[in-house]
Structures are given as C-alpha cells and as structure tokens.
C-alpha cells in the first residue's frame, strides 16, 4: 500500500479521479433517472419490477420498461437505499418529476454525483483488473492510463451513465479467471454478469471451447446457465419480464438483419460471422486457449458490425480492445479508428440526449443547440453518414479479426 | 508537465469550456421551460387555439409548440400569428405539415419584436386549409388551469371570408363578417408552449449560462462544500505527491 501511494499509479489514479469528479455532477443522460426511478420501488417492497411497471404504467410519470435483468434492479435499488440519507429529501420529487424543468431543480448536481458513485467504483476496479493481465510494468502502466484517460469510456460511463459497467466488470473478471484456468468460476462470473444484462452469455462458446473434456464442457454450461436461470427463475413465467427483457435489445437486434432465402427462410447476417468464428476455432483446435482476450474482442466487434447498436454497448468492447491494443500495438490505428467510428455512429442519431442535451444540468438552453443529426442533415443525408461510419467500422473489425486470427494460426502452425 | 497531466488539464478544460463553446450555437433563448404535455386539440379550418402571455425579454421572435401529426397525415400550412395587445398583427410563421413529425416540438420563428419585454401578446395557432380528418393536434399543458386572461381587450380570433382567409383579432361586438374561431376548450386550457427571444450577444448568453450554473451549484450548500472539499483534496494530494517526488 505504501509503495502504491508513492508510485506513479497513485498519481494517475488521483488525476483520473479529479477528471471524473469534475464531469460527474454536470452531465446527464435520461437513462440514469429512469433506472433509478424504477429501482426506487425496491424500497417500497416491490420484488417483481417487471409486473409492477406493467400494471402501474398509467399512474407512473416515467413509463419506460425495465429492460435489464433482475440483479440490476436489486443492485440499483439497494444502492439507492444506502445513499438516500445523502441524496436528501427532494430526491424523490426529482425522480418523479418527468418535466423538463426537473433539470433546473436545486440538488440535481448532488443527485447526479451520488448516483454515479457505483459507476466510479466499478470504473476504478476495471482499471486495476486490466493491470492484472500484465506482468510487464510498462504494459501495466499503459493499460491503466489507457483505461482511465480515454475520452470514450469517460463519456460512456459518466455522461451516458449506463449500468452496463456492472456486466462489463464481471465479464472482465470472467476472462481473468479463464486465463488463470479457473473455468468454473469464470462461468459463474459470466452467469452473474448475465444476471444484470444478458449479453455476457455470448462469450459462453469461448469457455466451452476452452474446456478440456466433455465433462468440463458440461460443467461450464451448467454453471453459467444455471446461475442465470436461478436469477431469473422467479420471473420466468411473468409475461411482463419476457416482454421487457427477453424480447428487447440485443436479442431482437441480432435477428433483424437478414438475407431472404424465400419460403420464409432467412440467413441471419449478425449470427453468421459468429458461427463462422465458432467453426473456425473448432477446426483450429486450441487456438482459443492461447489468447481468449482476442476472442472476447472479436465476438463483439463482429456482432456490432452487423447490428444497430447503442452507444453504451461500446463499453462492452472497451476492456478487451484496450487489452488487445497493448498486446498488439501494430493494430492500434485500426482499433482507435474502430472505437471512434463506433462512438460517432450513435452521436449522429436523431436523439438530442446523445449530444447537446447531455449538458441540460448546466443549462436547459442547450436543448436548442442543433444536434449533429440536424447539422449534417443541412448538407447531406445523416443516415448515409451513419451507414458510411458503420461500413468503415465493420471493415476495420474484419481486418482486426483477420489479423488476430492469422497471427494466432501462425503460432499454432 | 507530463502527458497524463496535460491530458487531465485538457479534459478538465474541455468540461469547463465546452458549455461556452456550445453556447455559441444558441441563436434563440427560451423564455421558460415547456410545461409537460397533457391532452391535445385539433387544429383545422374553424378550430384554432390562442394563448396570451407577457414577454420576459426583448426581441421576442418565436413560439415553440408540441404538435401531433401521425404519419405526416397533415400536409397543409400550420400558422402561428402573433398579435399585440391591441390586436395588431406583429408576425406570422408558417410550417407545412409535411415537415412536422408526430409529437415533435416545432419552433415558429418570426421577425423579432424589439421592445417586447413586459408587454402582453396573443398568439393564434391556425391551419385554415386543414380538415378535421387530417388535422394536426397541439398539446395542452398537463396541468390545466382556468385562464381568464385568454382574451386581450375583449378581442377574439376570427377568419376573414376571402379566397385567402387570414386569422385576425376582432371585437365580437363589432364583427365585420368574420368566422369566429375561439374554442370553448381554449378558454379552459393552457397551451404547452415556449416563447423564444433572439440572442443578440452570444457572450451575454454565455455569461447567463455560467452564472446560472454557479447559482444552482452554490444553492445546494452542503453539496457545494463537500464537492469543493473533494476537488481541493484531490488537487492538494496531487501537489503533495509532486513535492514528495521532487524531494
């Protein structure tokens, strides 16, 4: 500890904390209010938030669904209860106030700062976890700084303030355990991560391929799927749970892009590269064991190449991309390009909360500033700009995939 | 200064200066926040809504309203006419239904009224060529309050009977052959609207934004003190760290 306080890491951490503290109270995305509003019902004894929202929607000021899995609700609800003495008496009124004027209330800066503290803690934990992937001091320092000072993760965590960071942390722990050959614990972490948001289950094939024999493969599947099943079991027969979580977000988007084969059959474009990767890895046995990090990265960038994604989802990729970037610096240009393109695509959506409206706590006047979608629209079709960015993103993703797999194949040969 | 410190200064500067940069894009200043949306009223040939207000600034140059137009069903002109207290037409702004997405907040911008501060105005929202079947709908405010000040000097909106019908404000006792347009609802409900004022000096807007930011931060005293302590603590630790390193 004493050594840490004297090290450069401590200075980096202090600088990182300062930057975060300066951003936290002043930038806002409506998601943070919506999710904490929904989580506030835990204090009132609501256990099944999905059916509660369904049956009380007409009475509630914020009518959005709770699209996350149950652990997110319990996590946010518990934190809100813990933090309530610091949030103050006006907090509940603010949560229930759906008017635009709520952003002008005294106390907004306090609320945003306190509500983002769990994200800050997880953000710092991720920085330390990333360091633990390296033994070389220079690489340790590089990954620590890259995570803490890249503007993209700063914006996603503290401006768009999405709670995907919990699943991101657990997925990273899962990868760490996988590399240390703790396969069952790794599967457990994936299952726990999926208890917040389902996406970590997409990495399950990596764990299966990693397992030595059939017995271990079955164990991995049972542990990860068993964990998530235990978490969602009480809600499985609730139609509102299915409607709000299973039929929204990633699950449905993965099925959207298709090539029509006629007679009701289609090729699922987003699934195909993932299946190709799976079969390729099966063919080149043991490939996945050398560098599972690359596979965590490849799966996500291939998937995002062919679906319409949320800006918050970029956070899923960030740790794996930075780990790969430190290991394979020759690919850094492509990776930065990929990240910037991924970040810019949602900025060009026709949604002011992705850009100018994030400054609403500072002044509500900012909602009047033209959004990038409108500015681009004066010159050109913003959807074509988005499509161009997505095409370049997909191309960079394919090049990175090819380069990483080629390099790994060389190692195997 | 090493790279990380420089980056931190850059990010911090950006956080503090970004609002100023963005403020340069503010051409019009809202007079108030838009009240939350409630029920709607259909706007067509014989159905208009009116609202009376007092301007809070000079250079009044627009009215913003939330309009319903499912599947762009309305393709006629929707007009906001601004009248003085005396019923004089001061400005008119037209937006065609084809550019009104359903539920969008639409700004009707007209020539600024320079000395508008403290004066009373009436705006009338009309769409004289629309039919009931393809009408756009304007949102009333969620909280409906009785407003006895709806009409100024007893004047109400009417539609002139001509090939190019226009909305004007007339005294019903002295009706020169106009179709009266005032709805019963419009006496009871408040339209959910925002007034806009042309920003003549971007630096004044920046100043107002920063002063408002500071005021609201300072107003929450206990948070302000805690926040200041955290920031000072972090900066102080960095200075101490630097000193101990140089020793």
pLDDT digits (tens, 9 = 90+) for A183-221: 999 999 999 999 998 889 999 999 998 888 899 999 999
- Among the partner residues A15, A101, A151, nearest to B4 by beta-carbon distance: A15
- Among the partner residues A22, A106, A362, nearest to B19 by beta-carbon distance: A362
* pLDDT value of position A41: 93
CB B106 within 8 A of CB B100: yes
- Cα A376 to chain centroid distance, Å, stands at 27
* B61, two tokens: 């140059």
For residue B69, the 8-state DSSP code is -
Contact list in A for residue B227 (CB cut-off 8 A) is 21, 25, 109, 113
* pLDDT value of position B140: 86
In this complex, do B241 and A10 lie within 8 Å of one another by their Cβ atoms?
Answer: yes
Angle between helices A70-87 and A164-179 (to 10 degrees): 120
ipTM surpassing 0.85: yes
Contact list in A for residue B34 (CB cut-off 8 A) is 100
* pLDDT value of position B149: 43
Q: Which residues of chain A have pLDDT under 70?
A: 1, 247-251, 285-287, 408-413
Contact list in A for residue B30 (CB cut-off 8 A) is 364-365, 368
What is the domain partition of chain B in residue ranges? 28-198, 202-246
H or E element at residue B52: strand B49-54
Angle between helices A117-131 and A8-23 (to 10 degrees): 150
The C-alpha torsion from A365 through A367 and A371 to A373, rounded to 10°, is: -160
Q: For the whole model, what pTM was predicted?
A: 0.85
- Among the partner residues A15, A100, A113, nearest to B8 by beta-carbon distance: A15
* pLDDT value of position A274: 87
CATH fit for domain B28-198, picks 1.10.260, 2.40.10, 2.60.120, 1.25.10: 2.60.120
* A390, two tokens: 């997505």
In angstroms, the separation between the Cα of residue A165 and the nearest Cα of chain B is 21
Contact list in A for residue B57 (CB cut-off 8 A) is none
* A160, two tokens: 């768009």
Adjacent-strand bridge partners of B62: B109, B196
Interface of chain A toward chain B, CB-CB under 8 angstroms? 6, 10-12, 14-19, 21-23, 25-26, 98-101, 104, 106-110, 113, 145, 149, 151, 154, 356, 359, 362-366, 368-370
Cα Rg of chain A, angstroms: 22
Which pLDDT tens digit goes with each residue over B194-231? 999 998 888 888 888 999 999 999 999 999 999 999 99
Sequence-separated (6 or more) residues with CB below 8 Å from residue B215: none
* pLDDT value of position B148: 42
Q: How many CA within 13 A on the CB side of residue A100?
A: 23
* pLDDT value of position B177: 58
Q: Which residues of chain B have pLDDT under 50?
A: 146-149, 185
Instruction: Give the integer Cα–Cα distance in Å for A79 and A158.
Output: 17
CB A165 within 8 A of CB A122: yes
- Phi, psi (rounded to 5 degrees) for B93: -140, 135
H or E element at residue B193: strand B193-198
Instruction: Give the integer Cα–Cα distance in Å for A67 and A31.
Output: 11
* pLDDT value of position A161: 83
For residue A235, the 8-state DSSP code is G
Adjacent-strand bridge partners of A258: A268
In this complex, do A363 and B212 lie within 8 Å of one another by their Cβ atoms?
Answer: yes
* pLDDT value of position A79: 96
| C-alpha closest to that of A201 among A120, A140, A274 | A274
* A257, two tokens: 């892009």
CB A116 within 8 A of CB A36: no
For residue B35, the 8-state DSSP code is P
Adjacent-strand bridge partners of B140: B191
Q: Which residue of B has its CA nearest to A90?
A: B220
* pLDDT value of position B23: 85
In angstroms, the separation between the Cα of residue A53 and the nearest Cα of chain B is 21
Number of residues written out for chain B: 247
| C-alpha closest to that of A123 among A172, A175, A72 | A172
Instruction: Give the integer Cα–Cα distance in Å for A286 and A234.
Output: 38
Sign of the dihedral defined by the CA atoms of residues B221, B224, B228, B234, in that order? positive
List, as one string, the DSSP characters of A206-217: HHHHH-SSHHHH
């Amino acid at each position: 500890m004493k050594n840490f306080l004297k090290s450069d890491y401590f200075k980096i951490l202090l600088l990182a904390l300062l930057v975060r503290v300066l951003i936290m109270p002043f930038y806002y995305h409506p998601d943070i209010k919506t999710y904490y509003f929904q989580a506030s019902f835990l204090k009132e004894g609501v256990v099944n938030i999905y059916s509660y929202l369904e049956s009380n929607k007409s009475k509630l000021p914020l009518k959005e669904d709770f699209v996350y899995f149950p652990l997110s609700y319990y996590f946010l609800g518990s934190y809100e209860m813990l933090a309530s003495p610091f949030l103050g008496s006006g907090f509940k009124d603010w949560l229930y106030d759906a008017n635009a004027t709520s952003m002008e209330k005294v106390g907004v800066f306090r609320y945003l700062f306190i509500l983002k503290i769990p994200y800050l803690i997880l953000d710092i934990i991720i920085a330390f976890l990333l360091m633990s992937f390296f033994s070389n001091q220079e690489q340790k320092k590089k990954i620590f700084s890259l995570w803490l000072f890249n503007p993209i993760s700063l914006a996603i965590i503290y401006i768009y303030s999405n709670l995907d960071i919990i699943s991101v942390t657990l997925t990273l722990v899962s990868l760490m355990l996988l590399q240390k050959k703790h396969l069952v614990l790794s599967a457990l972490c994936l299952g726990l991560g999926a208890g917040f948001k389902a996406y970590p289950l997409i990495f399950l094939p990596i764990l299966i391929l990693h397992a030595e024999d059939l017995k271990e493969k079955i164990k991995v599947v049972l542990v990860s799927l068993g964990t998530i099943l235990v978490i969602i079991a009480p809600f499985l027969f609730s139609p509102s749970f299915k409607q709000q979580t299973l039929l929204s977000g990633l699950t449905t988007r993965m099925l959207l892009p298709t090539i029509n084969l006629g007679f009701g059959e289609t090729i699922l474009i987003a699934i195909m590269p993932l299946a190709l990767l799976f079969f390729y890895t099966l063919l080149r046995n043991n490939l996945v064991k050398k560098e599972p990090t690359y596979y965590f990265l490849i799966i996500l960038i291939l998937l995002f190449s062919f679906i319409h994604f949320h800006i918050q989802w970029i956070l899923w990729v960030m740790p794996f991309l930075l780990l790969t970037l430190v290991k394979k610096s020759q690919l850094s240009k492509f990776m930065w390009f990929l990240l910037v393109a991924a970040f810019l695509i949602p900025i060009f959506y026709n949604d002011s909360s992705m850009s100018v409206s994030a400054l609403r706590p500072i002044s509500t006047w900012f909602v009047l500033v033209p959004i990038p979608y409108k500015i681009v629209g004066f010159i050109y079709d913003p959807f074509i700009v988005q499509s161009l960015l997505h095409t370049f993103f997909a191309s960079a993703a394919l090049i990175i995939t090819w380069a990483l797999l080629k390099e790994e194949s060389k190692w195997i040969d | 200064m090493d790279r990380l410190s420089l980056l931190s200064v850059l990010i911090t500067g950006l956080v503090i200066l970004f609002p100023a940069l963005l403020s340069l894009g503010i051409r019009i200043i809202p007079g108030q926040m838009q009240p939350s949306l409630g029920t709607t009223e259909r706007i067509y040939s014989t159905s208009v809504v009116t609202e009376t207000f007092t301007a809070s600034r000079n250079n009044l140059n627009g009215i913003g309203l939330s309009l319903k137009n499912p599947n762009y069903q309305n393709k006629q002109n929707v007009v906001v006419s601004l009248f003085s207290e005396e019923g004089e037409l001061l400005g008119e702004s037209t937006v065609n239904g084809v550019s009104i997405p359903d539920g969008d907040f639409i700004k009707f911008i007209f020539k600024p009224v320079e000395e508008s501060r403290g004066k009373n105005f009436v705006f009338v929202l009309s769409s004289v060529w629309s039919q009931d079947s393809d009408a756009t709908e304007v949102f009333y405010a969620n909280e409906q309050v009785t407003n006895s000040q709806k009409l100024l000097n007893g004047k109400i909106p009417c539609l002139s009977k001509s090939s190019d019908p226009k909305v004007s404000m007339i005294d019903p006792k002295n009706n020169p052959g106009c179709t009266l347009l005032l709805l019963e609802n419009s006496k009871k409900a408040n339209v959910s609207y925002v007034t806009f004022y042309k920003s003549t000096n971007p630096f004044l807007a920046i100043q107002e934004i920063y002063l408002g930011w500071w005021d609201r931060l300072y107003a929450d005293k206990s948070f302000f003190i805690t926040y200041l302590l955290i920031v000072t603590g972090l900066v102080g630790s960095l200075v101490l760290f630097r000193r101990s390193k140089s020793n």
